[in-house]
Amino acid sequence: MAEPQVPSRLVFRVPGTAVLAALLLAVGATPFAFGAPGLYIIYVIPVALIVWVLRVRTTASPDGLTVRHVFTSRALPWSTLKGLRLTRRSGVRAVLRDDTEVALPNVRTRHLSALALISGGRLDDPLAASPHGSGDVP
């Protein structure tokens, strides 16, 4: 069996088509925005939504993780990670060596195998087959 090809990076983000929803919101807000002076400020909401969709993401590479929020970005080399913590809503948080946690935007539990692959063995794949064959514990 051939070794799986490891991509150079993985990007976890909201699909770009979500911008269309924000634009539709802007069109729907137009009658309200011009209903009275000063209500055009309502356009801040769709613009903020577009900025959020385009900015917020988690990028995984062989060097580590890069977490990007709307106004900030943080690099997390694999060597600084102690592990990952799963949240109740299928989210994933990175646990650092000093026990602080960093939320990984748009990363879900279904992405753990991909993260384990790109980490080069630094993270364990929770879905990997057990050495006993069928996945059952003896």
In the chain, domain spans: 10-118
Helix axis angle, 18-33 to 44-55, nearest 10°? 170
* Dihedral (Cα; 11, 17, 22, 28), 10-degree rounding: -170
pTM of the model: 0.80
CATH architecture of 10-118: Roll (2.30)
Strand order in the sheet with 64-68: 10-13, 57-61, 64-68, 73-77
Q: Residue 4 has what pLDDT? A: 65
Is residue 57 a contact partner of residue 106, using CB atoms and an 8 Å limit? yes
Q: Residue 133 has what pLDDT? A: 46
Confidence of residue 129 (pLDDT cuts 50, 70, 90): low
- pLDDT tens string 97-121: 999 999 999 999 999 999 999 998 8
Kindly tell me if the per-residue pLDDT of 132 is higher than 90: no
The residue among 27, 88, 22 whose CA lies nearest residue 49 is 22
